Amino acid sequence: MNTSPSSSHTRSRTHVLPALAVLWVAGLAGPALAQPKTHDHAAQQAAGAAPAAAPAVGAANTAEMSDAEVRRVDKGAGKITLRHGEIKHLDMPPMTMVFQVPAPALLDKVKPGDKVKFRAEKAASGYVVTAIEVR
């Protein structure tokens, strides 16, 4: 039996290389086999799948609405400041932030201090309120 360092080194290399290859393949296959936790509408569109129909602006879908308190209303700028709870469909934690309101009539319904349910969407220009109702 040859116990020279070069022989031992060669044997360990022959065991390590296949193990590394298996780990490398598993690392690449893992993300491809993983199921997404959320829907990626952009990926669906790129793949040619039809996206889910979006609710009409101002439509109040209470299943996707979030709770908030109105902090400020700026009708001139078309903006509202809300202290909101979690917005699940946007993966957004509770915070206070300013939203754009493309439909000025929505701002006529609310005033600072009102407790509301609202629907927000991500637009190219930022986050916008598409529906709001006083609780």
Q: Where do the domains of the chain lie?
A: 5-46, 62-134
pLDDT value, residue 9: 53
Contacts with 67 (C-beta within 8 Å, 6 or more apart), sequence order: 84, 85, 115, 116, 117, 135
Q: What is the pLDDT along the chain (135 residues), one digit of tens a residue?
A: 555 555 555 555 555 445 444 444 444 444 444 444 444 444 444 444 444 434 444 444 455 899 999 999 999 999 999 999 999 999 999 999 999 999 999 999 999 999 999 999 999 999 999 999 999
24: its two tokens? 């490398």
Is the pTM higher than 0.85? The answer reads: no
Beta-carbon neighbour count of residue 87 at 10 Å? 24
Q: Which of 41, 88, 37 is nearest to 61 (CA)?
A: 88
Helices marked H in the chain: 5-33, 41-46
Q: What is the DSSP letter of 92?
A: B
Pairing between β-strand 95-100 and β-strand 79-84 as defined by DSSP bridges:
antiparallel
pLDDT value, residue 94: 98
Q: Does domain 62-134 have CATH number 2.40.50.320?
A: yes
